[in-house]
Structure formats: C-alpha cells, structure tokens
Amino acid sequence: MIEGPVGVGKTSLAIMLAEKINGQTSLEHTEDNPFLDKFYQRPKKYGFQTQVFFLLRRYQHAREINQIGLFKSAVITDYLFDKDRIFARTNLDDNEFWLYEQLFQLLKRRVTAPDLVIFLQARTEVLMERIKKRDRDYERSISFRYLDQINQAFNDFFFHYLDSPLLVIDASKIDFVNVPEDFEDLVNQIRTIKSGTQYYIPISLKDRS
C-alpha cells in the first residue's frame, strides 16, 4: 500500500508499480465523497460527515481487497485504512473524534495489515505546488496552513508505525514518473524489504555522492 499527504504522488506510483509487477490496483476516489467540497469551504460544519463517509468507504475497499487478493499475486492501493484517522485527528473536535474513534477501532479489527507500506513524504511547499498544478475543483480551497498540519500528522504517524514493513521515500527528491532509472531502482528496493523500516535513497542522488 502507498500512503502520504495530498499531492505527493500516491496514485501515479500505484499505477506504475501494478503495471510493472502485473498486479492490480485498488484506487481511492476522493471525489466520490459528497461532503468533501463543502468540508474545504466549511471544515467545522462538515468535518464529521466527511470523515465518517471516508471511513466507511475505506473499510468497504479493504474488505474488497481481501477478495481481490485471492486471485491476484499483488494488490496495490494508494491509501492505507489508518489514513482516515490521521485526517480525523486533525479535522474533528474532541467530542467528534471520541465518537469517530469508537467506530474506527471496531472496523480496524477486521482489516488485514498490508504486506508492505510505502510512505511518500514531501515538503509542504512541494505538495502545494503539485496541488495547484493538477487544479482539481474540490482542492482549490486547501490552505497552506491546513496542508502543513496534515503533512506533519502523516510524518508523526509513520514515525511510530509498526504494523507492516515500511519504506519511506522523500518524494521531493525522486521523479519516478519521468526518470526510469529512479523507478527501476525503487522497484528493486521494494523487492528486498522483508521487515522493519527502511529509507530509500534514489539512484540519481547516489550517483551525485
């Protein structure tokens, strides 16, 4: 599974990896959330509805992935089930989060941990630039301050993540879409990971040292 903050490149990497290893993708479609556009405009009013919708949708996807896995050698997603809680902790007040947490913990017990998690991280300035470049309607209201909060929350979460083997990639320093050598080197690195946390250094940066 591939995870990271908004605009970091999760979907692009998921699609490329699935094609490379003859796997199947299960991609998140955030635009399906009917509350998302309203949330970015009025976060206090629509935060709880937005998070519960995402939580239930991601749980449904997680159950579907288990079925897909029976027939495919690899299923690659551009989200982690736990991701929703990262946003909820940032977006909800204490009372809303308490209620959300009860539902989250009930559902998480039924979700299988992934074989590998790839965490793409990047500076908030880079994320903001990429979001503006792709120019999605519902993302135009995202502020730098909010994006920076989410970015820090992701970094904090994965600093303590132990549920699966973890590969951390600084997406500010790698262009796996346009630099074939970086992508091939990344695939080779992924194939070697068995346990623990590893930090990926792109081959293009190794060559400069």
Q: Is the pLDDT of residue 101 over 90?
A: yes
pLDDT computed for residue 205 by the predictor: 60
All structural domains of the chain: 2-201 (3.40.50.300)
Among the listed residues 189, 155, 191, 194, the one whose alpha carbon sits nearest the alpha carbon of residue 202: 189
What pTM value is reported for the model? 0.86
- Output the six-digit token pair for 72: 């495919």
188 CB neighbour count, 10 Å cutoff: 10
* Pairwise CA distance, residues 5 & 122, whole Å: 8
- Output the six-digit token pair for 48: 């709880």
Mean pLDDT of 164-188: 86
pLDDT computed for residue 171 by the predictor: 86
CA angle 174, 176, 182 (to 5 degrees): 75
Type of residue found at 154? F
Predicted confidence (pLDDT) per residue in 37-85, tens digit: 888 888 899 999 999 999 999 998 888 877 765 555 688 888 888 988 9
Q: Is the pLDDT of residue 209 over 80?
A: no
Among the listed residues 29, 114, 25, 116, the one whose alpha carbon sits nearest the alpha carbon of residue 72: 25
Average pLDDT, the chain: 87
Percent of the chain with pLDDT over 90: 43
Which positions are catalytic?
A: 78
Mean pLDDT of 120-139: 89
Among the listed residues 11, 23, 16, 27, the one whose alpha carbon sits nearest the alpha carbon of residue 183: 16
Per-residue pLDDT band at 158 (split at 50, 70, 90): very high
Q: Is the pLDDT of residue 206 over 70?
A: no
Per-residue pLDDT band at 104 (split at 50, 70, 90): very high
